[in-house]
Structure 1
């Protein structure tokens, strides 16, 4: 049986765009056979035990960031790094125009910058895969990598739509 990775998708609490993207990816991933996790944030301004459990149950931590990362997301990334001990399992994917302001120690994660005006989703997805493959310590099987690649492509496509039609850009 083919193994599909489990994914924890985070988002900044005050970003409607990021939350919508995370929920859409959670739905797409779940119907595609991925085991998906979102943070338990409703009415909370801290990382609770359930969110920690979800992070530790996942194979990957991913955020498609449109803004500087919040204190809660930075704490989630630290928890993920403490658990994985592998920055290739923690993907922060952001519009390159915001990457200098995301506010994170890059040694705990893999930053994938994306310029939706200059490059296609395929190029950014390939760049993300190249970064993951170079940093990956375990022997992932091809199916797991292909599944993650397809998932990242969908997320990058949605991020591109947000970036291209954002009022701020």
Structure 2
């Protein structure tokens, strides 16, 4: 329901195109470990993203028969129901207004994977985040090495307001 996943996927595709066209040829010989990290982590990162995006987050189906039977017998009160989901309340389950579903062990609505993170896809989501972090660290390292090799200083020797650069005796 949200466009953020497509925007993120497009940005990642552009980043890998830049990597293949510029960073890989420029830094191949000197920084093999960073290329190895990107090569090893990219496939599992994409797999975890797809499983978190399209996987079942732990949806709890509507249970109208159980709700009616519970109300009729007096076992359930109105406070024990999740009305939009037509289901009894369960511990750690929550109704997502963003995605209009009732999810077991609800964690959060994640617009970047365009899905709810819950009991069914939590491990894939954490795998995606960890692998994406490793890929971004390798990407940053390669970009900084490429800029340094091209003669650009990654951090200027004097940063900040001029008043901070006086010497103390």
- Give the strand-richer structure, 1 or 2: 1
**TM-score for the superposition, normalised by structure 2:** 0.26
Q: Relative CO higher for 1 or 2, CA cutoff 8 Å, sep ≥ 6?
A: 2
- Give the helix-richer structure, 1 or 2: 2
**TM-score for the superposition, normalised by structure 1:** 0.26
